Amino acid sequence: MRNYPHPIIAREGWPFLAVAVAGSLAVTWWAGWPWALPLWLASLFVLQFFRDPGRDVPEAPNLVISPADGRVVAVERSRDPYLDRDARKVSVFMNVFNVHSNRSPVEGVIGDVWYHAGKFLNAALSKASLENERNALWIKTDDGHDITCVQVAGLIARRILCYVKPGDRLARGQRYGFIRFGSRLDVYLPLEAEVKVSIGDRAVGGETVLALLPPGAA
């Protein structure tokens, strides 16, 4: 399934790209290419940062897919601080060259949303999960599994965007948010989940399978 209801450049980036290109054009017109080159390079950076390609979302049952592009930096047993349970935690770190759209790892209904203000530590650090600015979703699957998906701001990320609320239903791979400029996504899974990735693996948001859920928890 190709879940892609928006242009190939994320709408969150349109104002940034417009300003960057307008500035580049103005300097090119008034001062010439040598002076404008740094601005055009900045425009290219903005363009690549806000790219948002469609993804082919796997349709097999019980899959948990990556909510973001990036590198897997944590696969561990942990305490889910939002649902107060022991869980398996998988974390994906996004650098400034990754796509920064965030997608639902599973299909289900949002039970709750929690926002916490916090610090802006390097998002690759484990303590960023509990100390940085973050926004968490509790997603209840149709089989009764509880999944917690947490957007975590990073060292230079200063804006977490989340477009859903309790009671909304998300399809697996559906785009629900965005983080600007370098961050991570934490996914807390039931202990029975079978994790399919390892630390250091590259994940593609909406496509890479992070884990398999056991059937029939409802």
Mean pLDDT of 145-171: 86
Provide the mean pLDDT of the chain: 86
Decide if 48 contacts 99 (C-beta within 8 A).
no
pLDDT above 80 for 3: no
CB 92 within 8 A of CB 150: no
| Angle between the N-to-C axes of helices 33-49 and 14-31, in degrees from 0 to 180, rounded to the nearest 10 | 170
Report the pLDDT value the prediction gives residue 133, as an integer from 0 to 100. 80
pLDDT band, residue 131 (cuts 50/70/90): low
Is the confidence at residue 13, as pLDDT, over 90? no
State residue 69's pLDDT score. Answer: 94
Q: How does 96-134 read in b/e, with b if 16+ C-beta sit within 10 Å? A: bebbbbbbbbbbbebbeeeeeeeebbebbeeebbeebbb
More confident residue, 198 or 131: 198
What is the average pLDDT across 197-214? 95
- Quick check: is 183 catalytic? yes
Q: Could you read off the pLDDT of 62-102 as tens digits, one per residue?
A: 999 999 999 999 999 999 999 999 999 999 998 888 888 89
Residues paired with 183 in a beta bridge: 94, 153
Give the pTM: 0.85
Q: What is the pLDDT of residue 183?
A: 82
- The one catalytic residue among 91, 104, 129, 183: 183
The more confident residue out of 5 and 20 is 20
Q: Specify the range with the lowest mean pLDDT, choosing from 46-50, 103-107, 153-157, 174-178.
A: 153-157
| Res. 26: pLDDT tops 60 | yes
Nearest alpha-carbon partner for 54 in 101, 8, 14, 98: 8
